[in-house]
Structure 1
Amino acid sequence: MLALLYPGQGAQSAGFLHRLPAHRTAAETIEEASDVLSLDVAALDSNDALRSSVAVQITLVVAGVATQRRLADAGIEAQMHAGLSVGAYAAAVGCGAVSFGDALRMVKHRAVLMEQAYPSGYGLSAIEGLSEAQVETLIGTMMSASEHRIFIANVNAPRQIVVAGSDDALDAFNIQATTAGAHRAKRLAVSVPSHCELLREASEALVEYAASLSFSTPKQLYIGNRRARALHRPEDIRDDLATNMRYTVRWFDALTTIVERGATLLVEAPPGQVLTDIAKAAYPQVEALAASSFSDDRLVEIVRRRVDA
């Protein structure tokens, strides 16, 4: 059983759209996105452009949908779709819950709201080597001793926790985490405090915006971000997308749900392999592939062979 995984903000790298397979599905997906948004999407993956969350979020969704369409063009359909943070928008398109055009409009509005709420001075840090409980304890200690506010944004793995807050708070917390035994505490290439209560008002505005968009019953399973469970009703998927900026992303729980539902092959859409590495470490019995690590023909060949087997 095949599951497609779609990465979130922080996975981007300069030129990644131009490294998509030289196949018509990629070109058509980029062209469609450009038409929908009335801008040149192919120009959004430069170093300068990727300083904007708007460019990052749009291009990640485009790359995810292009990958799903390429496999579908080869006759390969995933039975499950799951995306981390903004990757959930590509997952919702992949499973048939929302049109590509509406997903693009919604994700652009999402990114604009996030940037308007926190244009500078905030972001995320990845803490590796501490559990969620240890990170929560550190947050409590730090908040009782200062005015710094830190929030758990992502639980990507049992000992890979992402926290959100202001630049000063994150710098201070990274030092505290390292002192407490984290092997790494590193700022991510994200300029907004995603997945926490700081984005409550932005999330409420996105819920209102999304109310006018059309959602459908998914054709394949969609695994949500917030509760890490399969969502079947269109309105639940709409809510998951509109509110995930406000709530902790429980990616490891979502991955566990995917494995428990019988996935035997995981394919991560470009540009990175963070989700692949998490899956390999936690569930070595399940084959996990990063699409960006293979040529187009080779990826299709391997996935087809595994699915047929």
Structure 2
Amino acid sequence: MLALLYPGQGAQSAGFLHRLPPHPVVDATIAEASDVLSLDVSTLDSSDALRSSVAVQVSLVVAGVAIQRRLADAGIEAQLHAGLSVGAYAAAVGCGSIAFADALRMVRTRAELMERAYPSGYGLSAIEGLTEAQIETLIGTSNGASGDAADSRVYVANVNAPRQIVVAGSDAALAAFNERASAAGAHRAKRLAVSVPSHCELLKEASEALDAYASTISFRTPTHVYVGNRRARALRRGEDIREDLATNMRYTVRWFDALTTIVERGATVLVEAPPGQVLTDIARLAYPEVTALAAASFAGDRLVEVVARRAGEPE
């Protein structure tokens, strides 16, 4: 059984849209996105453009949908879809719950709301080597020592793996927390290429605004399994997927739990959409018995050949 995984903000790299497989379906996806958004989407992956959360989030969704469509064009359908953070929008398109055009407009609105709320001075840090419980304890002492001001607090944003936790906050709060985490035994405490404090209460108002916008969009019952961000379980109703997309900027992403759900539901082959392979590395470490492939690691259009062979192997 095949599952498609779609990465979130921070996975982007300059030129990644131009490294997508050379195929008419991919070209048509980029052209469709350009038409919907009234801009040339192919320009959004330059180094300068990727300084904008809008460009990053839109580009990631376009890349994810392009890969899903390329595989489908070759007769390879994923039965499960899950995306980390903004990757959830590509997952919602892939599972058949939302139209690509509506997902693009919603993602652009999402990114604009996030940038408007925190145009600068905030972001995310990845902490490796400490458990969620250790991070929570460290956050408690850090927040207690620094008071209740929003610009001094740190929040758990993503639980990507048992010892890979992402935290959100202001630049100053993250710098101080990275030092505390390193002193507490973290193997790595590093800022990510994300300029907004995603997945925490700092984005409560932005999330509420996006929820109101999402009420105008049509969501359908998914034709394939969609695994959500917030509760990390399969969502079977369009309304539940709408809520997951509209509110995931406000709540912790339980990615590792979502990955576990995917494997427990029988996935034997996992394919991570471009441009990175962080989700692939997490899956390989946690579930070595499952085949995990990063689309970005295959030159040209070879991904289709490899996935067709692996997904067709007896379980």
Q: Please indicate the TM-score interval, normalised by the length of the shorter structure.
A: over 0.9
Instruction: Please give the per-residue CA displacement for 1:63-103, whole angstroms capped at 9, x wherever unaligned.
Output: 00000000000000000000000000000000000000000
Q: Which of 189, 201, 205 is the equivalent residue of 1:201?
A: 205
Say if 2:121 is the partner of 1:121. yes
Q: Which of 172, 176, 188 is the equivalent residue of 1:184?
A: 188
1:157-306 aligned at under 5 Å gives the runs 157-306=161-310
Distance 1:296 1:17 in 2: 13
Distance 1:46 1:296 in 2: 20
Letter in 2 for 1:157: A
Distance 2:240 2:301 in 1: 36
Distance 2:246 2:144 in 1: 32
Following TM superposition, by how much is the alpha carbon of 1:270 offset from its aligned partner in structure 2, in angstroms? 0.2
Instruction: Please give the per-residue CA displacement for 1:34-71, whole angstroms capped at 9, x wherever unaligned.
Output: 00000111000000000000000000000000000000
Q: Could you tell me which residue of structure 2 aligns to residue 67 of structure 1?
A: 67
Task: Determine helix, strand or coil for the equivalent of 1:31.
Answer: helix
Following TM superposition, by how much is the alpha carbon of 1:299 offset from its aligned partner in structure 2, in angstroms? 1.2
Kept in 1: contact 2:22–2:301 (CA 8 A): no
Following TM superposition, by how much is the alpha carbon of 1:145 offset from its aligned partner in structure 2, in angstroms? 1.0
Aligned-residue RMSD, C-alpha: 0.6
Aligned-residue sequence identity (percent) comes to: 79
Letter in 1 for 2:164: Q
Task: Determine helix, strand or coil for the equivalent of 2:104.
Answer: helix
Runs of 4+ in 1 over 3 A off after TM superposition: none
Q: Could you tell me which residue of structure 1 aligns to residue 79 of structure 2?
A: 79
Distance 1:298 1:82 in 2: 23
Following TM superposition, by how much is the alpha carbon of 1:297 offset from its aligned partner in structure 2, in angstroms? 3.5
Distance 1:276 1:135 in 2: 24
Following TM superposition, by how much is the alpha carbon of 1:232 offset from its aligned partner in structure 2, in angstroms? 0.4
Letter in 2 for 1:28: A
Task: Determine helix, strand or coil for the equivalent of 2:305.
Answer: helix
1:128-167 aligned at under 5 Å gives the runs 128-147=128-147, 148-167=152-171
Letter in 1 for 2:68: Q
Distance 1:142 1:213 in 2: 41
Letter in 2 for 1:264: T
Distance 1:238 1:46 in 2: 31
* Larger CA deviation: 193-202 vs 20-29: 20-29
Letter in 2 for 1:65: V
Distance 1:54 1:227 in 2: 26
Distance 2:294 2:311 in 1: 16
Following TM superposition, by how much is the alpha carbon of 1:298 offset from its aligned partner in structure 2, in angstroms? 2.1
Say if 2:100 is the partner of 1:100. yes
Distance 1:213 1:23 in 2: 30
Runs of 5+ unmatched residues, structure 1: none
Distance 1:116 1:298 in 2: 40
Distance 2:99 2:60 in 1: 16
Letter in 1 for 2:79: Q
Distance 1:239 1:73 in 2: 30
Task: Determine helix, strand or coil for the equivalent of 1:168.
Answer: helix
Distance 1:18 1:295 in 2: 12
Distance 1:43 1:299 in 2: 24
Following TM superposition, by how much is the alpha carbon of 1:295 offset from its aligned partner in structure 2, in angstroms? 2.4
Following TM superposition, by how much is the alpha carbon of 1:25 offset from its aligned partner in structure 2, in angstroms? 1.1
Letter in 2 for 1:125: S
TM-score in terms of structure 2 length? 0.97
Q: Could you tell me which residue of structure 2 aligns to residue 13 of structure 1?
A: 13
Kept in 1: contact 2:95–2:222 (CA 8 A): yes
